[in-house]
Chains A and B, each alone.
Chain A
Amino acid sequence: MNETQLRNIVEAALLAADRPLGLDQLQALFEEHERPPRALLRTALGELEAGFADRGIELREVASGYRIEVRKQFAEFVSRLWQERPPRYSRALLETLALIAYRQPVTRGEIEEVRGVSVSTQIMRTLEERNWVRIVGYRDVPGRPALYATTHEFLDYFGLRRLEDLPTLAEIRDLDDPNVTLDLGVPAGAETRAPVDAEEPDGHEEIRALHE
């Protein structure tokens, strides 16, 4: 067995093992008649290390032996292999967000009134952390509840230039109609938008809420 072979066997074993390997374990890879002395194994490990110099991996000696690690400078890229998407947002969160968008500025209590169930603090926190909603004031009633509104980030995320780019409730209802397609992917700067709602405030008569 020549030096290159020895180095290659050591490399293969270190990369195939799911644990660090000490010199004893490396020696145990060989039949007795071809077992390399420890000094030769050390030389092979040294060569291996030198060969890794300009590569993505490196040889490290840890308490229980040698192992091959990803070089620290590449850890950030490699970590992206485990990017995880958390589970999808709950129905409750989407409804809350939608009500804030259409009814802003609005308090949590008012959202709860429409939804018929309470809105958890966790949902409000998630929406605020995502920078989709923020507090724009406090209603001057006992308890001074916070008033929530949507943000620029909210508009950006959903590809809207303005809040009024959101379809009316009547338009949304047509979503169920397979013959109607709604232009939802509103590209920024789209010129073919309908006239602003202020011109035809009646167009929104279907958007209803709790306060008279």
Chain B
Amino acid sequence: MKMVVAIIRPEVLNGVLEALFKAEVRGLSISRVQGHGGETERVETYRGITVKMELSEKVRLEIGVSDHFVEPTVQTIIRAARTGEVGDGKIFVLPVEKVYRIRTGEEDTAAVTPVF
């Protein structure tokens, strides 16, 4: 089991989700994060106070997948999330030792296989 953590642009999220669903990836969690990378900084002004915004809005996907599913998942994300401009984000693959499905107590691969 692996955990795929992807940081992507908010504007590509819906496309990425659709691509993932098409690629049979059905379970995932997302959260809003703010990222700093090579992006050009935004300058904002509030009553004479000028600030550089060092952080840009990003979305973080967290997807627990079986080992053989890592590659398709990663490639799907890369394809759907790429705009080619600085700031597209990163994907990290982390090892996972155990997975449980809370509803049933099932473990590992069974825990991430859809049951209907």
- Do these two chains really belong together in a complex? no
B contact residues vs A (CB 8 Å cutoff): none
